[in-house]
Amino acid sequence: MSLHLATYFWKIDATWTPRLLIAGIAGSLLAMAFAPAFTRAVGSRKAMMTGLCGFFLIQACAIIFPLAGLAPAAGTAAIGAFIFLCRFAAGACYALYVVPFNIVTYDIGDEHEANTGRPAQGIVASFMFIGLQVGSGVVALLAGSFLGLIDFPAQLPVDQMPAAKVAALAWFILSLIVIAGGAMAWLVGTFKSGRRPA
C-alpha cells in the first residue's frame, strides 16, 4: 500500500524509495536511545500509547495533508522531503511504542513464571510473532480485495491513472490507519501487568 501511495498518490520519484526506507529506520534508531528513559519517566502504558498514537497520527497526516491541499504538490521534490520527514517522525514514534511494548510483554512472561513456576517467555514471543504475521496477512488480504473492488488499474502509467481511483486508494488506506490505530490503542489500554508479592 505504501508503494501504491508513493507511486500514484504522492507521485514520488523512484530515487526517493531508499531514502524513505532509511528515514523510518533512522527515526527508530535515534528514538531507541531515548525510549528506555522515556518509558521510566512516564510509565510503560503511557509510553506505548504516546508512541502508538504518534505513529498512526503521522501516517494519517501524510495522507490527510495532501488530500486537503496542505502539502507540497505531488511529483515534486518537496513532497518527497515532506514524506521523508513524516517517515522519520513515524519511525521515532514507533520506537517509543515498541520498546515499552516488548518490556511489558516479556514482563508478562516473567510474571507468569513467578506465579506458576512454569516459564512462558517462549510462548509470549511465539504469540507476538504469530500476531504480527496474522495482522500483516489480514491487511494484505483487505488491501488486495479493495484494489479488486474498485478495479484499480494494474500497470497503468502514473499520468494516466484516474484521479478518482487514486483518491479512493488514499481514503481506503487512511481508513485502515484509523481503524488499526484505534484498535491497537484500545488493546494497549487494556494491558495490566504487575508483579504480585511472593
Q: For residue range 2-53, what is the model confidence (pLDDT) as tens digits?
A: 777 887 888 888 888 888 889 999 999 999 898 989 988 998 888 888 998 9
- Lookup: cell for 34: 531515548
Sign of the CA dihedral running 53, 58, 63, 66: positive
Q: Using one digit for the tens of pLDDT, what is the confidence trace for 110-151? A: 776 777 777 766 776 677 678 777 877 877 787 778 777 777
195 in Cβ contact with 66 (< 8 Å): no
C-beta neighbour count of 56 within 10 angstroms: 22
Say what the pTM is: 0.79
